[in-house]
Each structure stands twice: as C-alpha cells, then as structure tokens.
Amino acid sequence: MRLSRFFLPVLKETPSEAQIASHRLMLRAGMIRQEAAGIYAWLPLGFRVLKKIEQIVREEQDRAGAVEMLMPTLQLADLWRESGRYDGYGEEMLRIVDRHEREMLYGPTNEEMITEIFRAYSKSYKDLPKILYHIQWKFRDERRPRFGVMRGREFLMKDAYSFDTDEESARKAYNRMFVAYLNTFARLGLKAVPMRADTGPIGGDLSHEFIILADTGESEVFCDSALVDMGAPGLDVDFNGDLQPLVDKRTALYAATDEMHEPERFTSEVPADRQLSARGIEVGHIFYFGTKYSEAMNAKVAHPDGQERPVYMGSYGVGVSRLMGGIIEAHHDEAGCIWPESVAPFGVGIINLKAGDDEADAACEKAYLALEAAGKEPLLDDTADRGGAKFARMDLIGLPYQLIIGPRGLKEGKAEVKIRATGERHELSLEDAIARLCEGAFS
Ligand code: 5CA
C-alpha cells in the first residue's frame, strides 16, 4: 500500500475523552472513529488489524475441531422467551420492533439461536459431538461504554457452542476450547491467564475467564504468578488426545476473578512471593452449562437405548474487537503502538525521506515491489511530508520494521532498518536491507 492512496487520518492532538493508552492510540493512529457512544467505525488501519486478529482466532478454532458458520445479528424475541431469558436480560438488550410489529432484538449472544438450529437437524447421538462457532457483531447496551473498543456497545465476538451426549464428553469440548484459547492468545502476543469465574447471565456451573494483566483492566483478579509465565501448550497439541493434563496443570494453581475470590484459600495455597493481585482485561470467557438451554428449548437426541435426552452444552466467547485494545495495552510505548508481527496492519513501513527525488523514489519502489512480492505487506510513505513527521507517524502506527531510504544514504548505497520494538537500527546496503526484510531475518 502506498500511503498517498491510503486513508490514514492521524490526529496530532491526544483526544481528551480517551483515558487509557489503547483508546488514545487507536484514535490518534486513525484506526477507529466513534459514531455513537460505544459504537465505532473501523477505519482502514484498524480494520486490517481486526481482520488479522479474527483470522488467528478462526485458525485456532478450526484446529480445535470447531466448525464455522454465520448467524444473523437480529433475532426474534420469541426465541428468547423459550429459554426464559427475554425478560431477565434487562436493559442491556437492544429491543427492536419491525414493520409487522414483531418483537426482535440485536443479539447480545447466541445460545438460543444455535440451540434452535441444532434441534432442527440433529436427532441422534450419532450427530454428536459438535462444536459450531461464528464471528459476528453483538450488541449490549452497556450502561457505561468506555475505554474505546474495550467496553463497546457494538462489538465483535467469536462465540462457539458445543453439543454432547453427556457431561464427560462435554467436558472434553470445554478442554478443547480451553487449550485453543491459550494458543490463540499466545499467537496474538498475549499472556492470558485462565481464572475461575462467575457465570452471570449465561448461567451454568463451570466457567473460566481468560485474563490479560494490565493496570487499566476492568477486572480485579488474584492468582499464582507462576501461571502468568506458563507458556501455551503449542500448536502441535493433539486435540483428539487427552487434554485434561494440560488443563489440570493450569487449573491446579490458584486464579480467580474477584467474584470467585476466596482470600483464605489464596493466602494459604499460594506461596507469599507468588501471590499476585492485579487488574486485568477479560479477553475470553468459556462456560459449561449442561442442559440449561437444551432442556428449556427441547433440544434432545436419541441415545443408543432409544431414549431421547437433552444435549449437554457449553459456550465459548472471545472478544475479538476488545482484543485489539488488549494487544495495544500490552504492546506500546510513548511514541505509539508496537504491533506483534502476527497482527501488524502492515509488515514493513518504507519511509522515503525525499519523495520526488528520482533516486530515492526508484530505490523505494524497488524495495516496495520486492517486499510486496515476498508477502511482507509493505506500507510505503511516499508523501511529501517532512522526515520528522514521517518518523513520528510510522512510530505511532507501530509497524514492526521500518526501512528508511533517503538521498544521503543512497549516495553510499545505504539504507537503514529500524526495529520498532527495541529501537535498534541497522545500516545496510539497500540490497541487503531488502533481502533480509524479505527473509524475515530481523524477526
Ligand atoms: N455466550 C457467551 C460465550 S460465547 C458470552 O457471551 N460470553 S461473554 O459475555 O463473556 O462475552 C464473551 C467475550 O466478549 C468476553 O470475554 C469479552 O472479551 C467480550 N465482551 C463482552 N462484552 C463486551 C463489550 N461490551 N465490549 C467488548 N467486548 C466485550
């Protein structure tokens, strides 16, 4: 992409309404624009990151054996009357009436709809187990939308739903999602800690929130610090094998959100130097709720003995749009964002220090085409702005690598590579710089 053609409305001033770094940086770097309280337009730079996050979430769901589909945002109120949640959900639900006076709502979650779809087609134990998911916009009329995309009213969620014949098999689905989440968040450059959590309006008796630690997080959490540095299981884990040991290894250590916190257990079980009480951002939440919805909505399958019984279910959410705020909270400095390579909107920023100079233009063009062909998604700053403005903007948008090309360096055949995360600079021949960036040699 050439910056002269792109749409990157960078703000000079720090917007006064933004209280946390990720919100400030997303506004300043022209990633989002607020259209109403808690409702955002995703500008091109932000949209690119959102798509990358979404894709990683998708790949790890697929790897764990979940199957993607897409359900609508609008739902019939009657569906929610079947489960008994229509009245109980309260003011957070955005209720809509269509031209035929039919009561509808903008979905805050999809347990009812997926249960309705499942029961329409699946009648036998032979159809199970199944995990279905979609990545779709949700609406919750939060009383206090704040911190930008962290607590929005309209937000993008991945929600998966599992269907099993019994509790033991449902537990395996829960474990699959548990492990998939650890791998997902690690790929996004995050250390997410699974914590025992309250089930709230989703219901059920087993639930974990996945929390990334950040001072600006909305949740208060308590955990054994050893959990924070425990790595993810890794992409080679066998999802058909026994995942229980991987889950047990993590759930054996104390970790709880404030609703589930037991101060006495915490101080007696966790060695004093590992007692971590901190704030965190909830980026995922998984629930096992057995037959809560299947019983209410009559979603049954015939078992081998010919008896029909309600299916055992769980639901598994990831806050896809919230993750973008979470990633920035974890990866930024005074100058701007520092994207992990896996979600960076572009891979390399090429700065032409003198657009209009034939030699500089030709060198930038050469680098641009080579990086583009190598799949590195370059962003070429070919604007007429001053060098200082270009450096500041490139730091602000936080691409992992910068390739700086100007007439002075070119006289000696040189260009500069800057690593955004460390500030490290390498002076190289233009050819070497291009070749090494194409190879990913600085990763
Ligand atoms: N049906 C279940 C799981 S699929 C469910 O809705 N779970 S949830 O309520 O915990 O939401 C799942 C995830 O969505 C949360 O972990 C959080 O990361 C994200 N989320 C929830 N509310 C918001 C919000 N207002 N703004 C941004 N993200 C949100």
User: Separation of 284 CA from ligand 1 center, angstroms?
Assistant: 7
In angstroms, the CA 200 to CA 209 distance is: 12
Strand partners, 333: 336
pLDDT (0 to 100) of residue 186: 97
CA of 316 to the centre of ligand 1 (A): 9
Strands 67-68 and 219-224: unpaired
Specify the residue with its C-alpha closest to ligand 1, atom 5. Answer: 317
> 441 alpha carbon to ligand 1 midpoint, in Å?
38
Q: Which CATH superfamily hosts domain 346-439?
A: Anticodon-binding domain (3.40.50.800)
Cα–Cα distance measured from residue 144 to residue 37, given in angstroms and rounded to the nearest whole number: 9
How far CA 253 is from CA of 173, 178, 190, 266, 276, in Å, comes to: 21, 15, 19, 10, 12
Expressed in angstroms and rounded, the spacing between residue 317 Cα and the centre of ligand 1 is: 6
Residues in the chain: 443
Residue type, 261: H
Choice from 39, 106, 157 to test ligand 1 binding pocket (greatest atom count within 8 A of CB): 157
Please tell me the residue having the least CA distance from ligand 1 atom 6: 109
Side-chain half-sphere CA neighbours of 141 within 13 A = 10
What is the end-to-end Cα distance of the chain in Å, rounded? 21
Give, for all 443 residues of the chain, the pLDDT tens digit. 999 999 999 998 888 889 999 999 999 999 999 999 999 999 999 999 999 999 999 999 999 999 999 999 999 999 999 999 999 999 999 999 999 999 999 999 999 999 999 999 999 999 999 999 999 999 999 999 999 999 999 999 999 999 999 999 999 999 999 999 999 999 999 999 999 988 777 777 789 999 999 988 998 999 999 999 899 999 999 999 999 999 999 999 999 999 999 999 999 999 999 999 999 999 999 999 999 999 999 999 999 999 999 999 999 999 999 999 999 999 999 999 999 999 999 999 999 999 999 999 999 999 999 999 999 999 999 999 999 999 999 999 999 999 999 999 999 999 999 999 999 999 999 999 999 999 999 98
409 is written with which tokens? 């360096």
Distance in Å, CA 319 to ligand 1 centroid? 5
Helical segments of 155-262, H only: 167-187, 244-251
Can you give the pLDDT at residue 204? 73
Q: 32, 42 in Cβ contact below 8 A? A: yes
Residue whose Cα lies nearest atom 11 of ligand 1: it is 317
- Nearest ligand 1 atom to the CA of 157 is 14
CA-nearest residue for atom 1, ligand 1, is 109
Q: Ligand 1 centre from 78 Cα, in Å?
A: 23
Bridge partners, residue 193, by sequence: 211
210 in Cβ contact with 196 (< 8 Å):
no
Q: What is the distance in A from the centroid of ligand 1 to the CA of 322?
A: 9
Ligand 1 atom closest to 110 (CA): 1
Helix locations, 84-201, DSSP H = 85-88, 111-121, 167-187
Parts of the chain belonging to CATH 3.40.50.800: 346-439
The CATH label, of 3.30.930.10, 3.40.50.300, 3.40.50.12280, 3.30.70.360, for the domain at 21-336 is 3.30.930.10
| Residue 210 Cα to ligand 1 middle (Å) | 11
Res 303: pLDDT? 98
Location of structure tokens 């008896």: 307
CA-wise closest residue to 421 among 405, 440, 392, 400: 400
Atom 23 in ligand 1: which residue has the minimum CA distance?
Answer: 151
- Residues in contact with ligand 1 by the CB-under-6-Å rule are 109, 111, 140, 142, 151-152, 155, 157, 159, 202, 282-285, 287, 315-317, 319, 321-322
Question: Is the separation of the CB atoms in 385 and 352 below 8 Å?
Answer: no
Structure tokens at 364: 């930038």
Distance, CA 65 to ligand 1 centroid (Å)? Answer: 22
Structure tokens at 219: 């949740």
Helices (H), 92-237: 111-121, 167-187
The predicted pLDDT at position 203 comes to: 72
Residue 90's pLDDT is what? 92
Return residue ranges of the chain for CATH 3.30.930.10: 21-336
**From atom 24 of ligand 1, which residue's Cα is the shortest distance away?**
151
